[in-house]
Amino acid sequence: MKKTGAEIVIECLKREGVRHIFGYPGGVILNIFDLLYDEKDIQLILTRHEQAAVHAADGYARASGKVGVALVTSGPGATNTVTGLATAYMDSIPIVVMSGQVPTKLIGNDAFQEADIVGITRPCTKHNFLVKDIKDLARIMREAFYIASSGRPGPVLIDLPKDVTGDKVPFQWPDSVRLRSYNPRYEGNKFMIKQAVNAIQKAKKPIIISGGGTVLSNAAQELRELAEVTDIPVIMTLMGLGSFPGTHRLSLGMPGMHGTYYANMAIQNSDLIIAVGMRFDDRVTGRLSDFAPNASIIHIDIDPTSIRKNVPVDIPIVGDAKKVLKILVNLLKQEKDRQWEAIRKAWLKEIQSWKKARPLTYHYSEDVIKPQYVVEKLYELTKGNAIISTEVGQNQMWAAQFYKFDKPRHWLTSGGLGTMGYGFPSAMGAQIAFPKKTVIDIAGDGSIQMNIQELATCVIYKIPVKVAILNNQYLGMVRQWQELFYNERYSHTHLDLVPDFVKVAEAYGAVGLRAEKPSEVEPVIKEALKVKDRPVFMDFIVDWKEKVYPMVPAGAAIDEMIFEEEPEKKKKKLRAVK
């Protein structure tokens, strides 16, 4: 039976199991939007900006593990997706973005709303397609979902010229996907895994560093087994938070620039690093020449390019984290006589002493709300069960430090690209995937103003996302760098005018709440958590002088950390400038 290109697109989406699309219409994509008008199985969520549509698809994918889908028009609609694609690309998130394109015979003519989006997004997608012939459409749709979700996942863009979605051909669903040039390797090399077993047996001071790959591969259970069987402490990178329980006795929290003292010290003193699904990002390693000077490295990653990109690796294992860890754990379990606990005692004791010396702390105040206190209260009042998204900057780091993630896929943050404006739409996407869950965006007053328009989307679709704005009237992280490294010259980081977020929320028909004193934090959160039918803005007026500690200055080794100073005895009352 003949189908139009638009019908083929919808049919393919259904066969891929897609239930929700985030999108924004426009001229050349109308063939598809027209079908969505009375489509029962797929719901289109109309965002207020294409960038938000892509972030929402991304949040949906991170929380659910399914491929997120966005649909936009050509030209500006397509170029607005670039930040979202680059965000998903850096964090290896499986999404498919479909963009409209001018009719094939107009391509290259500088037609109205034409942009070479395939050219523009080539470096920020895992792969992209321009469908020039409707006969290729079904195959390309299938390949796009396959490429996005297999191997090291990532975003895929499909550019759909208007005539391709309008023409008709007989529809044929490809039974399988076969790409001679793309065959991700899932099984780790057996010999290398045995080498890893040997190295783990010999190691006196081993650590595990778990990254976003552990989450993507759904390998949290296997990772936990590895840690528990061998009594090896676990460090989670920003992207790896939740891949191992943050409240576990073996958890050392996050490493790197704003990591814990004890995680960084453990790395620097370790003799073996078992790196799982992480890529030794510069924010993790600090100055490379001084990174983990005594450690051999076992690196498990599905992407061969991640291995030996930044650090030399002794035992590279290319493969899926879940599969490799399963074999590794089984081999280690065969060592029944081994007294792992006794072997590990001295090392864990040494780590304990670092934990004691420099725990993660902040100075609570009765007078002014400390941002960390807000995060702690959110953790407490949601019992650690909420899905947390963040924007980028101080809000992101405090959330990472003070919300203890015990489960994977509860933490949505733009780790690689560091995209301000990511948190709110991604929370929205996660809430669509899990309507019953509590979803909270921990935001700053700067970041939330990028994509604040999504309040409308949340109100209309009754998406009860909670936004906790840590309002310090500054671009806080940049201000922190200026204070510490630029002689307190606060060039363009004070926002001068921050809108009344309570009124903004109310103007959209959302709930707006404000806390100005520490005693008001808990009641505000409690009230917000009660709201189930619309979004809530919680405006926390926080101590604007507060900085994220500990901190490794850019270019320093990770054990060269700056810590918070003791508060002066009679410290002036610090309040945000209102």
Active site residue 50: yes
Catalytic residue among 50, 114, 376, 454: 50
Closest CA to 265 of 253, 281, 276, 249: 253
Minimum distance of other proteins from residue 299's CB (angstroms): 13
Catalytic residue among 43, 113, 195, 453: 113
**Neighbour count for residue 44 (Cβ, 10 Å):** 19
Catalytic residue among 239, 254, 265, 477: 477
Distance CA 252, CA 236 (A): 8
Catalytic residue among 112, 191, 485, 563: 112
SS3 276: strand
User: Strands, E, within 420-515: which ranges?
Assistant: 439-444, 466-471, 511-515
Q: Please, which residue, 130 or 295, has the CB nearer to other proteins?
A: 130
Beta partners for 551? 562
Cβ burial, residue 568 (10 Å; 0-12/13-18/19+): exposed
Active site residue 113: yes
Under 8 Å between Cβ of 84 and 51:
yes
Torsion of CA 131, 132, 137, 143, to 10 degrees: -50
Minimum distance of other proteins from residue 134's CB (angstroms): 17
Residues in contact with 536: Cβ distance below 8 Å, sequence separation at least 6, in sequence order: 464, 465, 466, 467, 505, 510, 511, 512, 513, 528
By rule CB under 8 A, what string of x and - marks binding of each residue 303-322 to other proteins? xxx--xx-------------
Q: Please, which residue, 171 or 182, has the CB nearer to other proteins?
A: 182
Minimum distance of other proteins from residue 55's CB (angstroms): 23
Q: Which stretch binds other proteins (CB under 8 A): 18-26, 302-310, 336-344, 543-551?
A: 302-310
User: Strands, E, within 327-449: which ranges?
Assistant: 387-390, 411-412, 439-444
Site for other proteins (CB under 8 A): which residue of 56, 85, 118, 324?
118
| 60 token code pair | 């949906």
Q: Please, which residue, 168 or 308, has the CB nearer to other proteins?
A: 308
- Based on its alpha-carbon atoms, the radius of gyration of the chain, rounded to whole angstroms, reads 24
Query: In three state form, how does the secondary structure of 500-562 look?
Result: CHHHHHHHHCCEEEEECCHHHHHHHHHHHHHCCCCCEEEEEEECCCCCCCCECCCCCECCCCE
Q: Please, which residue, 154 or 259, has the CB nearer to other proteins?
A: 154
Q: Which stretch binds other proteins (CB under 8 A): 6-14, 300-308, 421-429, 511-519?
A: 300-308
Site for other proteins (CB under 8 A): which residue of 105, 122, 190, 462?
122
**Could you say which residues in the range 475-494 bind other proteins, by CB under 8 A?**
none
Site for other proteins (CB under 8 A): which residue of 20, 62, 126, 409?
126
Site for other proteins (CB under 8 A): which residue of 19, 127, 194, 287?
127
**Could you say which residues in the range 44-103 bind other proteins, by CB under 8 A?**
none
Is 359 a binding residue for other proteins by CB under 8 A? The answer is no
Under 8 Å between Cβ of 120 and 155:
no
Closest CA to 210 of 228, 193, 227: 227
Q: Please, which residue, 151 or 550, has the CB nearer to other proteins?
A: 151
Minimum distance of other proteins from residue 304's CB (angstroms): 5
What DSSP element (H or E) covers 352?
Answer: helix 340-357
- Amino acid in the structure at residue 58: D
Site for other proteins (CB under 8 A): which residue of 40, 110, 180, 247?
180
Q: Which stretch binds other proteins (CB under 8 A): 61-69, 77-85, 180-188, 207-215?
A: 180-188
Closest CA to 165 of 54, 13, 17, 20: 13
**Could you say which residues in the range 524-553 bind other proteins, by CB under 8 A?**
none
Under 8 Å between Cβ of 390 and 441:
yes
Site for other proteins (CB under 8 A): which residue of 130, 140, 207, 263?
130
Minimum distance of other proteins from residue 138's CB (angstroms): 18
Residues in contact with 356: Cβ distance below 8 Å, sequence separation at least 6, in sequence order: none
Q: Please, which residue, 40 or 180, has the CB nearer to other proteins?
A: 180
Site for other proteins (CB under 8 A): which residue of 105, 135, 179, 293?
179
Phi, then psi, of 70 in degrees rounded to 5: -130, 150
Q: Please, which residue, 182 or 434, has the CB nearer to other proteins?
A: 182
Q: Which stretch binds other proteins (CB under 8 A): 8-16, 173-181, 376-384, 404-412?
A: 173-181
Q: Please, which residue, 309 or 494, has the CB nearer to other proteins?
A: 309
Is 289 a binding residue for other proteins by CB under 8 A? The answer is no
Is 554 a binding residue for other proteins by CB under 8 A? The answer is no
Minimum distance of other proteins from residue 254's CB (angstroms): 27
Beta partners for 101? 161
Q: Please, which residue, 304 or 567, has the CB nearer to other proteins?
A: 304
Catalytic residue among 162, 355, 466, 547: 162
Minimum distance of other proteins from residue 150's CB (angstroms): 11
Active site residue 171: no
Is 139 a binding residue for other proteins by CB under 8 A? The answer is no
Site for other proteins (CB under 8 A): which residue of 2, 76, 105, 119?
119
Q: Which stretch binds other proteins (CB under 8 A): 254-262, 298-306, 324-332, 461-469?
A: 298-306
Is 363 a binding residue for other proteins by CB under 8 A? The answer is no
Under 8 Å between Cβ of 58 and 88:
yes
Active site residue 420: no
| 284 token code pair | 């993790």
Q: Please, which residue, 123 or 555, has the CB nearer to other proteins?
A: 123
Helices (H) and strands (E) in the chain, counts: 22, 19
- Tabulate helix, strand, coil % of the chain (nearest 5): 40, 15, 40
Distance CA 387, CA 383 (A): 11
Minimum distance of other proteins from residue 18's CB (angstroms): 22
Distance CA 110, CA 102 (A): 10
Active site residue 268: no
Residues with catalytic roles: 50, 112-113, 162, 477
Q: Which residues bind other proteins (CB under 8 A)?
A: 118-119, 122-123, 126-127, 130, 147, 179-182, 303-305, 308-309
